């Protein structure tokens, strides 16, 4: 069984504070939170969904915390 990365829990806590009660975050929401361009978010993180609209792509909170670690 793989160990979680050292910063995973800290990242998860920060994400849950920013998006309380959410399990899924859209590309546009994540871009606004990180103060990044929506296209950069899609290139940087493993977003699911498709299309060119940021609202159609999404990422789970757990996956985001893992990717940020």
For the cut 70, the answer to whether the pLDDT of residue 38 exceeds it is: yes
15 contacts: CB under 8 Å, gap ≥ 6: 25, 61, 64, 65, 68
**According to the model, what pLDDT value does residue 50 have?**
74
What does R_g of the chain's alpha carbons equal in angstroms? Answer: 12
Beta strand pairing call for 58-60 and 24-26:
antiparallel
Reported as a single tens digit per residue, the pLDDT across 5-27 is 889 999 999 999 999 999 999 99
Decide which of 1.10.10, 3.30.110, 1.10.3470, 1.10.287 is the CATH code for 8-68.
1.10.10
For the cut 60, the answer to whether the pLDDT of residue 54 exceeds it is: no
For the chain, which residues make up each domain, given as ranges?
8-68
* Residue 57 and residue 50 in contact, taking contact as beta carbons nearer than 8 Å: yes
């Amino acid at each position: 069984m793989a160990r979680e990365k050292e910063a995973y829990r800290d990242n998860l806590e920060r994400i849950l504070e920013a998006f309380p009660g959410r399990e899924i975050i859209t590309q546009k929401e994540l871009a606004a939170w990180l103060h990044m361009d929506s296209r950069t978010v899609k290139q940087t993180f493993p977003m699911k969904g498709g299309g060119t609209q940021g609202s159609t792509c999404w990422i789970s909170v757990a996956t985001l915390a893992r990717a940020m670690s």
